[in-house]
Structure 1
Amino acid sequence: MNGEVTYRKIIHIDMDAFYASVEQRDFPEYRGRPLIVGGSPEGRGGVVATASYEARKFGVRSAMPSKTAQRLCPGAIFVFPRFDAYKAVSKHIHEIFHRYTDVIEPLSLDEAYLDVTTDKQAIGSAMEIAKFIKQAIKEELQLTASAGISVNKFVAKIASDMGKPNGLTFIGPSKIEAFMEKLAVEKFHGVGKVTAAKMKAMGLHTGADLRKLSEAEMTQHFGKPGKFYYQIVRGIDDRPVQPGRETKSVSVEDTYQEDLISKETMLDELEILSERLAIRLQRTGLKGRTVTVKFKFHDFTIITRSYSLSELTNDKTGIINTVKTILDKTDLTGKKIRLLGVGLSNFEIPADRKKGTIKGQLKLF
């Protein structure tokens, strides 16, 4: 034993404005113009699936209500998603990945982790492999991807966000701790806007601030995720890249600055959440039978209500109709709602994903 530390080589690939980029590639009239994929500003509950970089300059972002997007960017072009087209492109992208490794964990149609610690072509350098992948995507699909390279999944994912679009960022072992200390708390994946606001109210603005807290203090203030925050701020993430991962549930949720009181307002918000959920499900190709609605009240108590369908769905309309049924049957008299969530579970896993699966979750209530 020579005492050398062996590090994993992890690449996180994230396509740039994927849906919008495919549309601009396929339809030249959209190129260079602010393009929004998902819904319509006139449609009730419509949300943005993704936006081109031309639209993002105006503040348009994914999961934003379409009406808000139109207000921010009045000249934007709205188009409905073409998931069949995106899935075909995604399949080609994964064929490129498999040229270098079979240890691939897809997160959605446009995002995946790759473990290239041992690569098929014996290239050895994760940085070079990432360059080859980006080049192949550009030459074969006329699209750009951003890549983050590091020794674990968490840091690789953060790295892929840097320098977008068409970014290529390597954060080596000796640089991780210093990098994490400078990172703003809202940039930590897994820290949502509510948690970020709580951290800032406590005077915690950067990774360096978080690092001052003990693991016990982290858990005391942030519950179970506190242990994860304690580790990641130190660059510790031992999660393996999981090929063929079986997702047990997919969900979305939102916390509101002002409590919701009327069922009409709740329904409006649940429709937005249902469309966001449908978009996420269609990215993964999953269909399920059980719809769950989560209610968090003003006093922080939580209830969930579920309804199982006779047939599989990932359709926006089917989810919304089921959510309406759940809402109608839930007694919320005198209740003030601070958070709503919508989820789908009880999936039928496609045959090509069943072999060698590892139990996991995309997100649980």
Structure 2
Amino acid sequence: MTAKLASEENKPNGMYIIKNEEQFKKEFGLKKIKIIPGIGKVTYDMLKSKNLFIIRDLWKYSLNEMKDKIGNVGIGLYYKSRGIDNSIVGRIIKNKSRGKEITYQEDIYDKKIIYNTLKEIIKEISFEMKNTKKWCKTITVKIKYEDMEQITRSKTVESSIRETLELYEVVDGILKKISFPKKVRLAGMYVSNFTNHKIEQLKLGERVKKENIKKVSELAYKIKKKYGKNIIIDPLDCK
């Protein structure tokens, strides 16, 4: 969380160093609450109605008090206002492909963490493709091991896709074919082979299933775009 806020302080260079908690409080205590990632208009208006305007206002309350005051949203804001957030910070790559890769602070051996990492990347890439009205046909997964050995595996699908559940289905298939004999330092995912419209080659039963997925995902996207990405869970979070 500290990294996300700090990167906003010195755009376009994106380099701003926060050395300790005291500096964080000094730099961000008087900032408006709406600079915290994930706060949309509805949440911001609700916070103002509770007389919460700047980040320092949130420091007055304990975790339980925050939950009692504004519900489950208060739990996340309690930590974020103190520079703590477990969501992933990485870099977006935009050219002929779009993607993101995450370097772990410590080499990991837990495949579940890798899956969760790629789920977060999928949600971000899906949201971006919808913003730019793009679909993709090729999905690539990148893994770098602790000894710096690197592998990439790609799959090209017949129908262009961009929904989170569709992307996850492809990524899951790729991961099942990758062995993990040693710890992992980096995990990433890229999409490419873009189209400006939906291309589908489906049987009738598959078409009905895809249409249902699309309806749910499009509704989730519209709500997130209007009110903030964290306002509702993504269908992928139910996997």
TM range (shorter): 0.3 to 0.5
Q: Which has the higher contact order (CA 8 A, sep 6+)?
A: 2
User: Normalization by structure 2: what TM-score?
Assistant: 0.47
Q: Which one has the bigger helix percentage? A: 2
User: Normalization by structure 1: what TM-score?
Assistant: 0.32
